[in-house]
Amino acid sequence: MDRSTNQQYLAEDMQRLDEMLARVTKSDETLSRYLTSGGDMQLLNLACGACNEAGTLANFFGRFNKKSADNRKLKFVGLDIRAREIADAAARFRGNLNAEFEFLRGDATKLHDHQQLPSEFDVVFVRHQNLWNGKSDWEKIYHKALEKLSPNGRLIITSYFDREHQQALEVIKEQGGELVVTEANEMSRELPTPGKFVDRHVAILKRQSSL
Ligand SMILES: C[S@@+](CC[C@H](N)C(=O)[O-])C[C@H]1O[C@@H](n2cnc3c(N)ncnc32)[C@H](O)[C@@H]1O
């Protein structure tokens, strides 16, 4: 695929991700209330790779402030185990008045080793986990993700495959998560691998027994 076609696909995928987030967050009263409250926000994007989604997520979560454009400060931390992808992300997303970006190379199964991370995040986002590639690692990653949530914080995941999405929800439940809402995105882009679609599903989860 040539570069300009790739860029075009990416732009369309990001537009769909933004629209999907707008739809699904409306089904979560606590999150919607928090988003429109205008406070600062901390977002952790785990296993973010080159983090194509960073700008879209920062715009989405940063734009809810109704008071003034520069009122909400978003701290965005992206983390992935692959150094080259993290370096790419750091070169592309440098932050602005409303968003501070930080990209770390690290193992999400060992989040506790990253002492410089804030103690809690309002949103932990995991886009396109690859559960098939090592279920026990993802059990640990989801466990750490839930541990990092603020009391009313949300874990938001998206998945490429129907079955993998259901498996991820099961794993998160076993690790102490509770499903708030899950939605299939019928508009998602089909990829060459059978059954694989960009952001085919999205789900919002919370820690069991939180609001
Ligand atoms: C399918 S890719 C998704 C990347 C990106 N979120 C996206 O949607 O394009 C899965 C990512 O998980 C990362 N990953 C796998 N195990 C990890 C771990 N233990 N810690 C951090 N990242 C990990 C991989 O390096 C890869 O970038």
**Domains of the chain, residue spans:** 3-63+70-191
- Ligand 1 pocket, residue 104 CB under 6 Å: no
pLDDT tens digits along 41-66: 999 999 999 999 999 999 999 876 54
Q: What is the CATH architecture assignment of 3-63+70-191?
A: 3-Layer(aba) Sandwich (3.40)
C-beta of 81 in contact with ligand 1 (< 6 A): yes
Cα 149 to chain centroid, rounded: 13
| For residue 149, pLDDT beyond 80 | yes
pTM of the model: 0.95
Q: What is the pLDDT of residues 93-109, one digit of tens each?
A: 997 767 899 999 999 99
143 ligand 1 Cβ < 6 A: no
How many Å lie between the centroid of ligand 1 and the Cα of residue 49? 5
Rounded to the nearest whole angstrom, what is the distance from the C-alpha of residue 211 to the centroid of ligand 1? 29
First to last CA, the chain: 45
- Mean of pLDDT over the chain: 93
Nearest to 44 by CA among 88, 100, 97, 83: 100
Residue 67 has pLDDT above 70, yes or no: no
- Is 184 close to ligand 1, i.e. is its CB under 6 Å away? no
Pocket test for ligand 1, best of 43, 79, 80 (most atoms within 8 A of CB): 80
Residues 22-33, mean pLDDT to the nearest whole number: 95
Task: State residue 65's pLDDT score.
Answer: 52
Q: Which of 14-28, 30-44, 77-91, 165-179 has the lowest mean pLDDT?
A: 30-44
- Ligand 1 centre to CA of 85 (Å) is 10
Distance 145 CA to ligand 1 centre (A): 14
**158 CA: nearest ligand 1 atom:** 8
